[in-house]
Amino acid sequence: MSATSPATTGVRRWEKDPILTVEHLTMRFGGLVAVGDLSFDVGRGDITALIGPNGAGKTTVFNCVTGFYKPTEGRIVMRHGPGANDALVERVTQSAAQHAEAGGSSVFLLERMPDHLISNKACVARTFQNIRLFGGMTVLENLLVAQHNSLMLASKFTFGGIFGIPSYRRAENQAREKAVYWLEHVDLIDRADDPAADLPYGDQRRLEIARAMCTGPQLLCLDEPAAGLNPRESAELNELLQFIRAEHGTSVLLIEHDMGVVMEISDHVVVLDYGEKISDGSAEEVRNDPKVIAAYLGVDDEAEIDIPEVRADISHGKQPAAGEAGGDSAAGGGQ
């Protein structure tokens, strides 16, 4: 694998203190290799973008990280607490355990955990490319369902809750306050009692982010959060993500096609093409990486021939649909 991160020397910020490490991740569906030997880091407190042309395997990576797919090969490590914690990671990997704790920091091997524990214990929350809200439940209920595990504990697994013990009532009030807090920050407080299916598209996107945040995540995975948003809504989304990071210290991993969003807010961009990483670095570096320009942002024909890597790719028959990518660059990359 040839990850060409041009310029800069030394250890990168996200390598020093990664919250999530994806190592040699491979996902095969029958004969199809959707993701092949992919490794990258997500820095703690960073906004990391995973980009690539359609079908590059971005959502597959997401599904592996959040436990919806079991990866064919590879290791996905989630860390609570600072530092890379390599010794602890090795110890868990050698044992049969899913996670281990030492000195206030814990390590989770996500490829070994079922999806609901990844959200519950490893504190990884996600949204979906095609919005998955509880349409027949109100906006407020959606946010209360997201706090299921803490409420379940408070209700003593229902046995206490059914008799209305005071500690459950307190917990429920706290849960409502948390929901109200997030409703205010995604500007949906006036629609709290409306069914989620009734909201306009942009509101649904924001509600899904609020719902994910109500689980109290350390890593928030957003699958194309700006898809279908108008420029004003995109700008609001940027602000929301900046707020989430600044106020809650939540690291964000996002898949995005909207280059405006990606370039403006990402600290770190990983570029995928055909399930392999073709570039990894800061937004600026990736933007100027000729492989990325060729594969994703698109270049005109003469320029393509002049880039050696692109020529190599063409000779390997791996040239992506330039016309489609070119359209993307005209909309997003040209700013």
Partner 1 sequence: MSDAALPTGFAVARVAASLRDAAVAAGLAAVLAFFFLALRTDIATGGLTITTRWFLFGTAVMLVFFGRLLLNLFFFKRGTGAERAVVAGAAVLAAGIWSAIGAAGFGAGLRSMLIGMVAAAIVVAILALVSHWRGGGAQAAGDKALKAAGMPRISILTSWLGKALFAFAVILPFFFAYFFPKQDRQYIDLAILIMTYIMLGWGLNIVVGLAGLLDLGYVAFYAVGAYSFALLAQNFGFGFWLALPLAGILAGCWGLVLGFPVLRLRGDYLAIVTLAFGEIIRVVLLNWYDFTNGPDGISGIPKPTLFGLEFKRGEGGFADFFGIAYDPIQRFIFLYYIIFCLALLTNFVTMRLRKLPVGRAWEALREDEIACRSLGINTTNTKLTAFAIGAMFGGFAGSFFATRQGFISPESFSFLESAIILAIVVLGGLGSQIGVVISSVVMIGGIELLRNIGFLKQVFGPEFEPTQYRMLIFGLAMVLIMVWKPRGLISTREPTAVLKERKRIGADMVAQGEGH
Q: Which of 7, 197, 305, 331 binds partner 1 (CB under 8 A)?
A: 197
CA pair distance 69, 57, nearest whole angstrom: 13
Name the one residue in this structure whose structure tokens are 């959200």.
Answer: 119
- Give the neighbor-by-neighbor strand order of the sheet with 219-223: 124-126, 219-223, 251-255, 47-51, 268-273, 276-281
- How many residues bind to partner 1 according to rule CB under 8 A? 45
Site for partner 1 in 20-49 (CB under 8 A): none
**DSSP states along 118-143:** HHHTS-EEE--SS----TTSBHHHHH
Assess 309 for contact with partner 1 (CB under 8 A).
no
Indicate whether 100 belongs to the interface with partner 1 (CB under 8 A).
no
Distances (CA, A) of 28 to 33, 60, 72: 4, 10, 6
The H-assigned helical ranges of the chain are: 13-16, 58-65, 86-94, 115-120, 139-146, 148-154, 166-185, 201-214, 231-248, 259-265, 283-288, 290-292, 301-306, 308-315, 322-328
254 vs 299 by CB, closer to partner 1: 254
132 counts as binding partner 1 under rule CB under 8 A: yes
Is residue 225 at the binding interface for partner 1, with CB under 8 A as the rule?
A: no
Nearest-approach distance from CB 135 to partner 1, in angstroms: 5
Per CB under 8 A, which of residues 149..168 are in contact with partner 1?
A: 149, 151-152, 155, 158, 161-162
The DSSP 8-state label assigned to residue 201 in this structure reads: H
Q: Which one of 115, 236, 264, 309 is in contact with partner 1 (CB under 8 A)?
A: 115
* Minimum distance of partner 1 from residue 26's CB (angstroms): 23
Question: How many other β-carbons are positioned within 10 Å of the β-carbon of residue 230?
Answer: 11
From 15-23, 193-201, 282-290, 317-325, give the range in contact with partner 1 by CB under 8 A: 193-201
CB of 151 vs partner 1, minimal distance in Å: 4
- 266 lies in the binding site for partner 1 (CB under 8 A): no
Residue ranges in contact with partner 1 by CB under 8 A? 66-68, 115-120, 125-126, 128, 132-138, 140-141, 144-149, 151-152, 155, 158, 161-162, 176, 180, 189, 192-195, 197-198, 211-212, 215
